[in-house]
Amino acid sequence: MSHTVLKRNPAPRQAWYGILYVQVLIAVALGIVIGWLFPDFGKSLKPLGDGFIKLIKLIIAPIIFCTVVHGIASMRDLKKLGRIGVKTVVYFEIVSTIALVIGLVVVNSLRPGAGFNIDPKTLDPSVGQAYATNAHGLHTVEFLLNIIPSTFFGAFATGDLLQVLFVAALTAAAISFMGPHGPPLLRGIEYVTRVFFGIMHIIVRAAPLGALGAMGFTVGSYGFGALKHLLALMVSFYVTAGLFVLIVLGTIAWYNGFSIIRYLGYIKEELLLTIGTSSSETALPGMIEKMRRLGCADATVGLVIPTGYSFNLDGTNIYMTMAAVFLAQATNTPLDLSHQITLLLVAMISSKGASGVTGAGFVTLAATLAVVPSVPIESLALLVGIDRFMSECRAVTNLIGNGVATVVISRWEKELTRETLRANLGHPPAVEAAAPPAVEAAANEND
């Protein structure tokens, strides 16, 4: 099925200061200045960032549940569902592996940790052990068992995306087997989805305050001076992630008929929101809506975006391999090719559990190092001061990668033509507090 170009009603031009992404950009800049000049005051702004992230997490689970249930249950062609699932898994594994390999190549080429000559005995061992303890749930069997929630509503209480996906898949399967009783339930879910997207539009208006608080706290707590010894790693990581987006994802986008630059412009609000809060989860509801408005089918969006938040973490993959080898270089720990291949294979598995763990990047790194014991776990203490700054780049890269994956799978399924995709990227439709396209379409069909 090919989507037509979205119709747009002319609207009065909005003042620049009323545009959300401009407000977020200004708030980020103010947060940096406040944290730099008035660090104590900057630290006191932490509740603003924490409160906004909690508000966003409040609606993530129900939006994911409704989106996945509708996407799967409304797809009558089970072969197509299986085909999309296989394509998604294959795409995730290939691109994630490329990200891991690129991280290894860059960190071995630039060697940002060489010459640090850090003695692990001089570092606080409690830091590394604390994260290693939190990483215990990432072992394969426990990870798989953790996907099953204790109760149906337990998944919503914990906010674990993998558990929400599991419950949503079971619910969608049950509705699919209900025959004529299924469509009324689906229509009800569509209107519930409309409610949650309406809540999302209300919450997002507070994004500038959340960004201000998060950036003020980060700079106020860690400052810029504390970063100078680890600046080489930060610059290497940021440059590598940027090149990955422009070259690897850019090539994938070009091959599928769209420009990565135009795509980045299309999701600029979500990018700035992610930068301001250091969390890609805050942009998840907006990404779902943006991909739908771009023309991607509900089923594709419902499958690719949520699963991508657990299985397609390009930024986290680059970070883990670079950080692990950096710590080996900084502590003069030799890592031969066999050790690095082991590191790569372990990272491919441990990164899949990142979305359900607090402090995901750090915890998955600890889990990876635990399997490669030649790198001292105490060395994790070196990265504590810069992890917040690194997490922003991780989150942005993850966000971009998941959006590109959604568009690519839609193109492979012939849901989008090149012309429709380019037209919608060139003239982004306004995001309004209205029902998702699926709700409106279903309403028209049944009226």
| pLDDT, mean of residues 36-49 | 85
How would residue 254 be classed by pLDDT, with cut points 50, 70 and 90? very high
**Which of the two residues, 294 and 7, has the higher pLDDT score?**
294
Residue 429 burial class via C-beta count within 10 angstroms: exposed 0-12, middle 13-18, buried 19 and up: middle
How would residue 373 be classed by pLDDT, with cut points 50, 70 and 90? low
CA dist 100 and 185 (Å) reads 42
Q: Report whether pLDDT(294) > 80.
A: yes
| pLDDT, mean of residues 45-68 | 80
Strand intervals (E) in 299-411: none
Quick count: other Cβ atoms within 10 Å of Cβ 347? 28
| pLDDT, mean of residues 44-53 | 82
- With 0.85 as the threshold, say if the pTM is over it: no
| pLDDT, mean of residues 413-434 | 72
| pLDDT, mean of residues 381-409 | 83
Looking at residue 260, its pLDDT comes to 94
| pLDDT, mean of residues 60-69 | 79
Angle in degrees, 0-180, between the axes of helices 387-412 and 360-371, rounded to the nearest 10: 90
High-pLDDT (> 70) share of the chain, % = 74
List pLDDT tens digits, range 193-227.
888 878 877 887 887 888 788 778 867 776 655 45
Domains and CATH numbers, the chain: 16-446 (1.10.3860.10)
Assess contact for 38 and 44: CB atoms under 8 A. Answer: no
Residue 101 burial class via C-beta count within 10 angstroms: exposed 0-12, middle 13-18, buried 19 and up: middle
> For 223-267, where are the alpha helices, taking DSSP H only?
231-243, 250-255, 260-266
Looking at residue 268, its pLDDT comes to 87
User: What are phi and psi for residue 159, nearest 5 degrees?
Assistant: 75, 15
**Which of the two residues, 123 and 255, has the higher pLDDT score?**
255
Q: Report whether pLDDT(252) > 90.
A: yes
| pLDDT, mean of residues 55-71 | 78
Q: Report whether pLDDT(231) > 60.
A: yes
Query: What's the first-to-final CA gap in the chain, in angstroms?
Result: 22
Looking at residue 22, its pLDDT comes to 77
- For 4-13, 57-66, 141-150, 294-303, which range has the lowest pLDDT when averaged over its residues? 4-13
Q: Report whether pLDDT(11) > 60.
A: no
- For 119-128, 146-155, 265-274, which range has the lowest pLDDT when averaged over its residues? 119-128
Looking at residue 152, its pLDDT comes to 84
**pLDDT mean across residues, the chain:** 76
Closest Cα partner for 432 from 95, 235, 194, 262?
Answer: 194
**Which of the two residues, 208 and 141, has the higher pLDDT score?**
208
Q: Report whether pLDDT(356) > 50.
A: no
Q: Report whether pLDDT(246) > 90.
A: yes
**Which of the two residues, 245 and 19, has the higher pLDDT score?**
245
How would residue 262 be classed by pLDDT, with cut points 50, 70 and 90? very high
